[in-house]
């Protein structure tokens, strides 16, 4: 589902070239593997310095189209173990939460620079990466056919 959303947004950005794409090309060597997983993992510990207190981790499942959309938020005690466990309770859909609760989550993410600008960057980067992989495929195909 995400790939379709990203492609539609990328087609629009192809028609109207942006400065973001040029900036994206200059930042191609940056580490963006975690961004391309299309989910944001945020660890937040308790504010008290006591080893006996539990650490709570939040996992935000987001979709990046022309803007950032949070689909759900999960709280995990053992992130390494529970992150992929689909049998755990996810909580309500994000859209079903009270509007002020949704706004607080968006503010929390925006404070960490996870916002619409990042969503647009992800789309542009995904489009650029897809173009590069396609060119590499064509070059490999041409080499194969010539032999």
End-to-end CA distance of the chain: 38
Can you give the pLDDT at residue 55? 66
> Does the pTM of the predicted model rise above 0.85?
no
What average pLDDT does the segment 98-109 reach?
92
Contacts of 32 (CB under 8 A, 6+ apart): 125
CATH 3.10.280 matches 2-146: yes
Task: Flag whether pLDDT at 104 surpasses 80.
Answer: yes
Q: Which residue has the higher pLDDT, 132 or 32?
A: 132
Q: Which residue has the higher pLDDT, 22 or 70?
A: 70
Can you give the pLDDT at residue 48? 45
Can you give the pLDDT at residue 147? 85
**Cα separation, 96 vs 61, whole angstroms:** 15
Measuring CA to CA, which residue among 142, 132, 126 is closest to residue 35? 126
Q: Which residue has the higher pLDDT, 57 or 125?
A: 125
Task: Flag whether pLDDT at 38 surpasses 80.
Answer: no
- For the stretch 14-27, pLDDT in tens is 333 444 444 444 44
CB 123 within 8 A of CB 13: yes
């Amino acid at each position: 589902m995400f790939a379709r959303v990203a492609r539609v947004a990328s087609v629009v950005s192809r028609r109207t070239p942006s400065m973001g794409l040029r900036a994206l090309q200059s930042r191609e060597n940056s580490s963006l593997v975690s961004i391309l997983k299309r989910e944001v993992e945020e660890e937040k510990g308790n504010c008290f310095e006591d080893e006996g207190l539990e650490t709570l981790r939040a996992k935000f499942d987001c979709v990046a189209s022309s803007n950032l959309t949070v689909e759900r938020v999960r709280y995990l005690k053992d992130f390494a173990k529970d992150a992929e466990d689909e049998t755990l309770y996810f909580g309500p859909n994000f859209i079903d939460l009270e509007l002020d609760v949704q706004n607080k989550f968006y503010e929390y993410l925006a404070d960490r620079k996870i916002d619409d600008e990042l969503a647009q960057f992800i789309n542009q980067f995904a489009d650029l990466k897809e173009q590069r992989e396609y060119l590499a495929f064509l070059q490999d195909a041409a080499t194969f056919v010539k032999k």
